[in-house]
Amino acid sequence: MSYENILTSIEEGILTITVNRPDKLNALNYKTIQEIGAAVSEGNHDKSVFGMIITGAGEKAFVAGADISEFSNYSSIEAEKLSRDGGEVFNSIEQSAKPVIAAVNGFALGGGCELAMTCHLRIASESARFGQPEVNLGLIPGYAGTQRLVQLIGKGKALEYLMTADMIPALEAHRLGLVNYVVPVGELIAKSKEILNKIGTKAPLAIAGIIKCVNSHFAYDEDGFNTEIYEFGKCFSTADFKEGTQAFLEKRKAAFKGE
């Protein structure tokens, strides 16, 4: 599938999705969000893909926020639809059965920070800056930034950054638990691929189960403990479980097939 605002490439089982609007610091408009969602969906349905990376074109920005020019004249009803539709895409990334890493180069502000937080892991360059500056515009985050930031760094610090609109430097983001690693910009994609390649040696159905269970912990209408019990039991009916246990007993490396 061809896209207008993103670039996609698959190399050795890893799908890289690059937001490609560098002239606008990769700002998110409605079309770009929908294209990201479509690309992630394609990755989940492509058997050759075991993991995904979302990043931004150029070194200045991962995604520097939403495209304000698109919604500056929206009504409340139009704004709610924008938030709901974008939220559905972001939820689909968070619920992806295959691991998704945000490789954050430069600014990840507003919708960009929210996009990064939907990914399962975040790797930041040393120059990365995170933030939710919506209050400067008389707004609040619209793609679950108020929810996911609390999940990742706790209520007190989340409230501070949401209300002050202060940016979070990469090293502070790492200290707070917002990002998993901070690396030189030239190592950003390599580090992301290193982690995905390690995950790629594990049982794909078990990885999907892990993602589902962790997401269930934060879902208001699910019991994470029951989800884990169910997913644990489901693993026992897979060929990967039989392969994994047999490989352990035979003292060899398992060859998982996602079956």
Task: Cite the active site residues.
Answer: 114, 134
Q: How far is CA 94 from the centre of its chain?
A: 6
Q: Hey, is 106 helix, strand or coil?
A: coil
Query: Dihedral sign, CA of 87, 89, 92, 94?
Result: negative
Residue 95: both structure tokens together: 């619920």
Task: Tell me which residue has tokens 């079956």.
Answer: 259
CB 104 within 8 A of CB 59: no
Sequence-ordered list of residues with C-beta below 8 angstroms from that of 75, at least 6 positions apart, any chain:
none
Helices (H), the chain: 30-45, 68-71, 76-94, 111-118, 145-153, 155-164, 170-176, 188-199, 204-218, 224-235, 239-249
Beta bridge partners of 169: 129
Question: Which are the contacts of 5, defined by CB distance < 8 A and separation ≥ 6?
Answer: 19, 20, 21, 29, 31, 32, 35
Q: 124 forms bridges with which residues in the sheet?
A: 104, 182
User: Minimal CA–CA distance to 124: which of 145, 101, 100, 151?
Assistant: 101
